[in-house]
Amino acid sequence: MCRRAAVAPAPAQPERERFMHITQESDYAVRIVYCLAKNGTRRDARAISEEMCVTLRFSLKILGKLVSSGIVKSYKGNCGGYELARAAADITLKNVIDAVEGPYRLTRCVGEEGAGECNRGASGSCVFQRVFSDITDSINAQLDAVSFQDLLEQGRR
């Protein structure tokens, strides 16, 4: 059994900061893809960043990841810019989050393909790993079930 020295509890955080969330980069990436889907035409990075209230530098970083993942196409030159590489119905929230962060896992003990990275040597047999794996699978399925076409239709209501 591990024995650890007593540690004073961390000071309470304000209520608004005490929740799990996706990163700001993922939040912005989702909004950028939505912007491209909503406009349906090629847009330059400056227009996207202004519409989404994201700095140009951060927008370009995100757009680079979206281009690398095949979600967005980029064009150079006077008529350059960015547009979706496929139909909005074929792009899901999971695709975008995976493009900027990698595959979602609730905890590090839930490894790819169920392999796990349990630091307690209980890979595959730990009750926490099984529960966290089920939660991870559920969240990924829900993110994969929402396409940008779904979001566009919800936005029109």
Is 2 contained in some domain? no
pLDDT at 114: 47
Q: Tell me the per-residue pLDDT of 46-95, one tens digit each, with 9 for 90 and over.
A: 999 999 999 999 999 999 999 999 999 999 988 899 999 999 999 999 99
Q: How far apart are the first and last CA of the chain?
A: 57
pLDDT top residue among 5 and 75: 75
pLDDT at 11: 64
Is 15 contained in some domain? no
Is 1 contained in some domain? no
* CA-wise closest residue to 129 among 117, 141, 138: 117
- Going by pLDDT thresholds of 50, 70 and 90, the confidence category of residue 1 is very low
pLDDT at 150 over 50: yes
Domain count, the chain: 1
Q: Tell me the per-residue pLDDT of 111-120, one tens digit each, with 9 for 90 and over.
A: 665 455 566 6
Please give the helix or strand (H or E) that residue 83 lies within, else none. strand 81-84
Is 14 contained in some domain? no
Is 5 contained in some domain? no
Is 8 contained in some domain? no
Decide: 54 and 32 in contact? Cβ < 8 Å: yes
Decide: 29 and 65 in contact? Cβ < 8 Å: yes
Locus of tokens 């995100």 = 62
Is 118 contained in some domain? yes
- Going by pLDDT thresholds of 50, 70 and 90, the confidence category of residue 127 is confident
How crowded is residue 84: how many other Cβ atoms within 10 Å of its Cβ?
Answer: 19
Domain that holds residue 137: 21-156
pLDDT at 2: 42
pLDDT top residue among 2 and 130: 130
Long-range contacts of 4-9 (CB under 8 A, 24+ apart): none
Q: What is the CATH number of the domain that holds 139?
A: 1.10.10.10
Take residue 3 and report the two structure tokens written for it. Answer: 């024995």
